[in-house]
Amino acid sequence: MTVLDHRAVTHPTVRWLGVPHLLAGTAEGPVGRDRHRELHGPLTLPTRAELRRDVARARLRGRGGAAFPVYRKLDSLPDHGAHAVVVNGSESEPASHKDRVLMRLAPHLVVDGALGVAHALGAARVVVAVHDVEAGHAMARAVAGRPDAAHVEVVAAEGGFVAGEARALLNGLSGVAPLPDGRRTLPTTRGLDARPTFVSNAETFAQLGLLVTDGLDRMLATGTAEEPGTTLVTLLGSVDHPGVVEVPHGIALADLLGHERTPVLVGGYHGSWVAGAGDAVLDRDALATAGTPWGAGVLARLGPDTCALGEVQRVVAWLAARSAGQCGPCVFGLPAVADAVADVVRGGGPTAVTRVRTLVGLVDGRGACAHPDGTSRFVGSALRTLSGEVEVHAAHGGCGRPVLGQLPLDGGAR
C-alpha cells in the first residue's frame, strides 16, 4: 500500500546548456501566465499554410520517440483540417521525465502550441492527456487561468506503458479500452471520436508554442541547419547531474554523459545500448543511421559499481510485464525473453545468448504496437554491447557486483 504523506510541493530541478528556450524563466520555478507572455511574447494564431511553412523550415519532428516530421503529419490530414488536437502528455516511458517536468514548469508553452495548431486546423476539440498528477494539475491550472483556452480539456490519461502509445491513448479518450488497434490505422485518418486527429507529444506542442510566440527566426538561431532549436533530455544513472536538461541540437553526447567507457543506453527502454558516448552527436538522423535512435530523449549511463547484465535483466522483466496482453507473441514471447536473459545473468554463456537471440527474433515485429520491437532492440543491443560481461558471468556465475537498480522502473521519483 502506498501511504501518501503531506509533503511540501517541490519543483523539479532543471538545467540547460546554452540558452534555454522551452525552459526559459524556470530557474525561479513554474512560469505563470504573465511571466510567460513577458518571456515569449503574444500568441499569434497561424493559418494552416503559415504553420506548415514554419514547421517545415524549422524541420520540427515529433518528440515522443518516432521523430516523425510534423509537416508531414499536417499534410496527411484532410483539406478541411482536423476534428481534434490531442496533446499526448502521458509519458509512459518510465525512464523519461522531460514531458512531465516541462508541463509542470512551462505549461503555457504547451497550451500556446495546442491553441496554435487547433486554430490552423479548425479543430473543435483540444484535449491534453496527462498521467503524472502534478503535471496534470499544472496544465489544468494553466488552462483555467486563460480565457482563450476555455475549451481546452485536461484529462487524466491511463497509466501503463502501452496505454501511452498514441492510438491506445486515443482509444482510451474515445471511451473504449486504451489499447492499440490490430489494424495500423493512423490517427490523422481515424483518431479521437474516430475522426481525423492531430496528436503529438507534449514537448512537440511546446516547440510549436515557441514557433507561434517567439517565432521561427529565434528557433533557427540555435541548433544545427539540419535540426534547428533545442530539445529536452532526461539524464539518468551514473551521471554528474541526473534530471532533465535542455540542449541545442548538435552537441556531443559526451558533453552530457562524460567520456568514460561504461555502458550507455540511448533512447529509453525501447532504445539501444552502446559501449560509451564515443563521438556521437545529438543528430536524430545520424543516431538512427548508427542504429541508436534518439527515441524519447533518454540517456542513461551505468556506473562501474553495478552489475550491468543484472540492470538489463531487471528492465527486461519489467518490460515483459508491461504487455497489454493483446498479442500472443508479446504475451508469451517477452516473458520467455526475460527468462532467457536471466539465464545469461546466471552464467549461461553462449548457449543462453543464442536462446535470447532466437526468442528476440521471434517477437520482433509481431504485435499491434512497437512494444515487442522496442524490447527486442533493447535486449539485442544489450547483449552485443555487454558481450564481455556475458563472458565474465559465464566464467564465474556472476560478476560479483550487486544490482543497484540504477534504471528507474516505476516512473515515479525525481
Partner 1 sequence: MSSRLQVDWTRCDAHGLCARLLPDQVTLDPWGFPVLDGAPLPDARVRDARRAAQACPALALRLSRT
- Name the residue nearer to partner 1 (CB basis): 14 or 162: 162
Give min distance, CB of 327 to partner 1, in A: 4
- Name the residue nearer to partner 1 (CB basis): 328 or 397: 328
Task: Kindly state whether residue 171 participates in binding partner 1, applying the rule CB under 8 A.
Answer: no
Site map 274..313 versus partner 1, x via CB under 8 A:
----------------------------------------
Give min distance, CB of 365 to partner 1, in A: 9
Residue among 194, 224, 288, 332 that touches partner 1 (CB under 8 A) = 332
- φ, ψ of residue 212 in degrees (nearest 5): -90, 0
Separation CA 270–CA 321 (nearest Å): 14
Of the listed pieces 28-36, 213-221, 269-277, 361-369, which binds partner 1 according to CB under 8 A? 361-369
Output the CA–CA distances (angstroms, integers) from residue 108 to 140, 185, 234, 265, in the order listed: 10, 31, 21, 32
Determine which helix (DSSP H) or strand (DSSP E) holds 245, and give its type and residue range.
Answer: strand 243-248
- Name the residue nearer to partner 1 (CB basis): 245 or 320: 320
Q: How many helices (H) and strands (E) does the chain have?
A: 16, 10
Give min distance, CB of 182 to partner 1, in A: 4
Determine which helix (DSSP H) or strand (DSSP E) holds 231, and give its type and residue range.
Answer: strand 230-237
Of the listed pieces 19-27, 91-99, 290-298, 320-328, which binds partner 1 according to CB under 8 A? 320-328
Task: Kindly state whether residue 367 participates in binding partner 1, applying the rule CB under 8 A.
Answer: yes
Determine which helix (DSSP H) or strand (DSSP E) holds 54, and give its type and residue range.
Answer: helix 48-57
Separation CA 101–CA 80 (nearest Å): 34
CA angle 375, 264, 366 (to 5 degrees): 10
Q: Residue 154's beta-bridge partner residues?
A: 128
Residue among 362, 403, 404, 409 that touches partner 1 (CB under 8 A) = 362
Interacting residues with partner 1 between 181 and 240 (CB under 8 A): 181-183
CA angle 282, 288, 292 (to 5 degrees): 80
Q: How far is CA 26 from the centre of its chain?
A: 21
Of the listed pieces 75-83, 97-105, 186-194, 322-330, which binds partner 1 according to CB under 8 A? 322-330
Separation CA 359–CA 344 (nearest Å): 13
Residue among 190, 366, 401, 414 that touches partner 1 (CB under 8 A) = 366
Residue among 24, 368, 379, 407 that touches partner 1 (CB under 8 A) = 368
- Name the residue nearer to partner 1 (CB basis): 272 or 323: 323
- Name the residue nearer to partner 1 (CB basis): 110 or 336: 336
Separation CA 177–CA 279 (nearest Å): 44
Determine which helix (DSSP H) or strand (DSSP E) holds 334, and give its type and residue range.
Answer: helix 328-345
Summarize as ranges the residues that interact with partner 1 (CB under 8 A).
179-183, 326-330, 332-333, 336, 362, 366-368
